[in-house]
Structure 1
């Protein structure tokens, strides 16, 4: 009895591949069905071509530079003309929103003046553009609450 006896099942001499083949056949059927669905177009449509398409403006971009210059949609605009420009844009799109981006050194009175002009023109949906602050380092005292 020096060597002892072998366990009851003995050594596994091969891997049973039957479950693997079953899974592969199921995947094959799934791929064949989905390929047929992807191949056929949903609806054969012949869409008309438009000679001119009207672009709908949904955001009125207002920027105030450090020297107090007012930019509306990429154009320098005097503050007095802001009300008229806003009313024209609102006539085209009643769902118009304004996004104000003001330089950090701009006096608050100028930003408030722009807000007042927007309110006078009937535009009530206003947001302020901001910049995400850079991630504070571990040694930075300003990052601590």
Structure 2
């Protein structure tokens, strides 16, 4: 069956559907990326990447809020978590460059009190 010359395949509805799907995907990607805690990590020329499956992530944001594995906690909960931690587990510390240094020192004091020496401090590599 042949189509008459003046009639063609109308692709405008297809384009409309694709644009709607694109908008949905971009909206979902924005919500997913905002789920992480935003911190501005300081830079270091000697920074290196550490790979370890067993780790505890402690984050300090610019408002001096503590997070353990992306869940907001108090300093007392951080202390309890570290005190009950196995010495084999790596503690990964990340602090916003605008956070108070005193809050970061509090975490280091807890680690020293426990005698936990298996920790790393996150930093961006200077370019």
CA contact (8 A) 1:66 1:106 kept: yes
1:59 equivalent in alignment to 2:55 = yes
Unpaired segments ≥5 residues, structure 1: 1-56, 136-145
1:53-101 CA distances to partner (integer Å, 9 max, x unpaired)?
Answer: xxxx6211010000000001121110012121112232xxx31111110
Over 3 Å off, 4+ runs = none
In 2, distance between residues paired with 1:96 and 1:121?
A: 13
Structure 2 counterpart of 1:130: 123
Alignment of 1:65-84 (within 5 A): 65-84=61-80
Q: Is the strand fraction higher in 1 or 2?
A: 2
Which gives a bigger RCO, structure 1 or 2 (Cα 8 Å, sep 6+)? 2
1:95 equivalent in alignment to 2:91 = no
2:107 alignment partner, one of 94, 114, 123: 114
Q: How many residue pairs end up in the alignment?
A: 76
1:30-71 CA distances to partner (integer Å, 9 max, x unpaired)?
Answer: xxxxxxxxxxxxxxxxxxxxxxxxxxx621101000000000
Unpaired segments ≥5 residues, structure 2: 1-52
